[in-house]
A and B are shown apart, each in its own frame.
Chain A
Amino acid sequence: MNENRRRAIVWDTIERIAFKPATDDDQRTWLGAYARTLHTIWDMEPAWTFLALDDHFDVPFLMLNCIYSIDSVPYSISLVQASTTPHCYWQNHIDTGYLSKASLFPASGQYPCQQFAQLRRDIEAVLNGMILHPRCHSHLEDLGVQNVQLDGSIGGLSSHEARIGGGIENPVVLLFHLRYQFCLVSDQARQTERQRLIELFENAIRNSDSTVNARDLFGFQRRNN
């Protein structure tokens, strides 16, 4: 199987098993884990965060508020200035009543197990395009957000490194994508998350798992004492 076909399968598989919570309960659990791990990936202190299907969360170090609605079509996600006179920088509507090229032909078939040696590289490429560095994107300063440079001496990144993907049709993928893009605390933290996701999906695809649950997707740790 050629590389493009393999990667199309990987793309659709990842989206299907991790980013399509089926029931209301699944969606709430997905958002619950999302809310409770934002601080982990951003390496900040935890705060009480509850997220419903239509809700918002803060990105305090960028003075941003992310407002989203994924309860019904059209879905929407906005980035709004966190201030007493909020200014909307960016708003994305996802109207699934209309076509996109990506929605026309979901990849069929399973990843060819005789080519598992290629799987890791395929996943890396897919995660880059889907979440980490989408082909179509805007940098935060292009949207008018004030540039923030975190402390580079310990690996902190500039807000320029936050790439807001323009063509993401799945609102759950879009939320996951934003979570990663706002991880500016250090390049190493991004690399760690990237490796974690690659390993997670490599195992899931090799094992033909039908789902990656929210706990594993977000690295939600429940310690046993």
Chain B
Amino acid sequence: MKRRKYGVNLDDGVPLATDEEFRLLYVPCNTAATDCLRDWFADNARGSILLGGQIGTGKTTVIKEVSRSFSDPAIISVRFDTDPIEASEGGYCMLLLGRILNAALNSGVAVEDIGISLSDFSSVDAHSWRDFADKITSRPSNLQEAGRLREICGIMTQNAGLVRKACSQLLDRLRDRTSREPVIVAEGIDKFSPGTPDYFLLKDILTFLAEGKTLFEANAVHLFMERDFPLAIRKIFIGGISHDMLVQMLKKRLGSYSPVYQEAFSSISKYSGGNARQALRLLNAYYFQRTQNKKEHAAAMALACRQVGKDLLSISYSHFPTNVFAVVKHDGYIEAALFGDRKNAAGVNDAVYRNWLLIRNEPASAAPTQWPAIINPLIDEAIEWKTDTPRTPEEEAVRKWARDHDISPVGLNIPVNESGEPAWSKFWEEIDSSSEEDTLNILSVLKEIAAGLFGLERQDRIIISYRERGNLESVRDFLVGRANTYSHFPCEEIAIEGGEGREPVIDLLIKLADQNPNHIYSVELTGKWTDAQLNDLDRRRDILGNLQMLWWIQQDDLKAYLRFWPQLRQFFRIYRLEDEMWRGITIEEIQSDIDFIKNISDENDPEGVRRLLNVLDFLKKSGGKS
């Protein structure tokens, strides 16, 4: 993604990728982890690493920072979240085999006589091992191709042991050829929540990979899964970022303008709980409130907390481990044993996996089982704890503004009972009811999403929910048309239907096969998606990469879907359209936009003009202002 050299570079916390991004925006928050990984990459000895951190702590950025200085052909990167054609043992085996085959062939390793042959997988019609490796690691371009790949997955599921053995042989030959222990970077394990069927299907592969030299990108909860990884595996924990580092990060994001907004740094640091993505999203929302809505500091901060809390955290959830929350609040740590405890494990794992609880650091040597932890401040701040330390005047000002304006999640003042436990049901009720009122007309949505929609320097992913579908095509054409008054932004229209017997995620993969970061992707989700389809989409959130996306989802459907999307929602901002959505839009303004594009563009038939003519037509038919 192209970035601004001197000015503002905000986004919703996507990992850094390019050299330019690292040069402008990287802050070495996790030096111990990066040093450790650098040494590990350089070292030729066997031994795997489990790199664990909660969502948004910067694991992917750490791996990128380290791996970009190693361009060894013996480093094999496997993305288990986005790249398997299906979530099955065969799907994972196929991907791994394909990647290892590619690396072996690139290094001139003989790949015959590995216990499997091309004729075992005749349905892909590969004329060589190279062709086979390419085919099984590429995204399908149509459903037929996807079907053929799934057939191979089926065969591999039945012969998973043989496939792993073949992988093992290839890795041995690669080691002999390159005189170097092959390194596998197993990315995306962090998207598999422990206890889910998909994670279960991945376990044998994890065990196999752990025997070699593999770096696992995992969630913090995986560090506690003693049975899934060898006891001797080296564990690196990425925890909360210190206040000073967070401030450096915020400064870099604001570029030259950082002194103007520096009063927000301490609050953002506090409300982020040390989580990098939460801090970046708070900064993004705060900056928007200050610059676009012209809010004063306290108001901007309260509104930013609400937006980020709503997007990242809020759902009604029956497994919310209220007892654990009270203990963490009281003790300031979480006992490692709770992650495996029969009574509490599900709730604790969920709370950590979904960032309701934030683990700050590794345990001190004096108390090796006690992991310093806090309740996510965006939840914690809503509660009037009896034992809280006094707040600073600035924190009080933010809370007061939030209280006066009935804003969650800060300032709700949910009371605690005599045993010190808050009324959690009331908490979720308040969060839910406040978001009910949070509807916007199209102009307000446009204002909220303009930075990504009109900009060449950032791409955002936006969910727009609606009550009645009505003429959504006109809404889309309005947003895309206006974007085209800023630059040439072609729009790809994608409709994905979920439900039993359908393959919506494969369908999406196919439709996103040729990604163009300069396009706008309008994706409408229809049908009743199954739990498995929602989980699959959640895990593959990174296929959306850095694309500018507008997703359209009916509001009741969205409410049901959100609890399946702890990962996906990390990269989305959510807005709800009000019923009177066209309020404030006039025919004259649309005509003026059309004239502007015609005058400024040298294209024959500019996309923006076509889109806005549709809007004009719709407005005229619906009586001027609709």
Contacts and interface: CB of A to CB of B under 8 A. Distances in A.
Interface string B433-473: 00000000000001100110011111000000000000000
A44 B258 CA distance: 12
B446 A150 contact: no
A28 interface: yes
Contact of A214 (B519, B589, B600, B602): B600
A189 B8 CA distance: 13
Given A28-B592, A33-B600, A148-B260, A154 B485 contact: no
A144 interface: no
Contacts of A32: 485, 596, 599-600
A155 B5 CA distance: 10
A223 B456 contact: yes
Interface stretch (A45-53, A69-77, A105-113, A131-139): A45-53
Nearest to A32: B596
A223 B454 CA distance: 12
Contact of B290 (A43, A60, A188, A215): A60
B450 A48 contact: yes
Contacts of B457: 45
Contact of B488 (A43, A48, A61, A223): A223
B6 A43 contact: yes
Contacts of B255: 43, 151, 154, 156, 185
B451 A61 contact: no
Sorting the interface of chain B by its residue count into under 10, 10 to 19, 20 to 34 or 35 or more gives 35 or more
B519 A60 contact: no
B236 to A, nearest CB: 32
Given A222-B601, A223-B518, A188 B485 contact: no
A116 interface: no
A186 interface: yes
B599 A25 contact: yes
A186 B6 CA distance: 7
B446 A222 contact: no
Contacts of B446: 48
A145 to B, nearest CB: 13
Most B C-beta atoms less than 10 A away, residue of A44, A224, A225: A44
A158 to B, nearest CB: 10
Most A C-beta atoms less than 10 A away, residue of B447, B456, B487: B487
A45 B589 contact: no
B488 A28 contact: no
The 9 closest A-B pairs by CB, nearest first: A43-B7, A156-B256, A46-B454, A45-B451, A186-B6, A60-B291, A150-B256, A32-B596, A29-B599
A186 B24 CA distance: 15
A2 interface: no
Interface in A89-131: none
Most B C-beta atoms less than 10 A away, residue of A29, A48, A60, A186: A48
A221 interface: yes
A82 interface: yes
B519 A151 contact: no
B476 to A, nearest CB: 16
A221 B596 CA distance: 14
A224 B484 CA distance: 12
Nearest to B11: A45
Interface in B1-37: 4-8, 10
A123 B95 CA distance: 62
A150 B450 contact: no
Interface in A177-199: 184-186, 188-189
B288 to A, nearest CB: 9
Interface of B: 4-8, 10, 251, 255-260, 287, 290-292, 294, 446-447, 450-451, 454-458, 482, 485-488, 490, 516, 518-519, 589, 592, 595-596, 599-603
Given A25-B599, A43-B7, A185-B256, A225 B518 contact: yes
B54 to A, nearest CB: 28
Contacts of A82: 294
A46 B6 contact: no
A46 B451 contact: yes
A33 B5 CA distance: 22
A41 B455 CA distance: 13
Contacts of B596: 28-29, 32
Given A46-B450, A46-B486, A215-B600, 4 more contacts: A32-B599, A58-B291, A186-B5, A224-B488
B574 to A, nearest CB: 20
Given A48-B482, A150-B259, A225 B601 contact: no
A36 interface: yes
A112 to B, nearest CB: 33
A46 B258 CA distance: 17
A150 B600 contact: no
Contacts of B251: 151
A149 interface: yes
B450 A47 contact: yes
B519 A225 contact: yes
Contacts of B486: 36, 46
A58 B290 CA distance: 12
Contacts of B447: 47-48
Contacts of A185: 6-7, 255-257
B259 A47 contact: no
Contacts of A149: 259
B487 A221 contact: yes
A25 B589 CA distance: 14
29 contacts: A25-B595, A28-B595, A28-B596, A29-B596, A32-B485, A44-B4, A45-B8, A46-B450, A46-B455, A47-B291, A50-B592, A60-B294, A150-B256, A150-B260, A151-B256, A151-B257, A154-B255, A154-B256, A184-B256, A185-B255, A185-B256, A186-B5, A186-B256, A189-B5, A222-B603, A224-B488, A225-B488, A225-B490, A225-B516
A42 interface: yes
Contacts of B5: 43, 186, 188-189
A61 B490 contact: no
Contacts of A151: 251, 255-259
Given A32-B600, A185-B256, A44 B485 contact: no
Nearest to B519: A225
Contact of B6 (A45, A50, A148, A189): A189
Contacts of A154: 6, 255-256
A212 to B, nearest CB: 14
B454 A43 contact: no
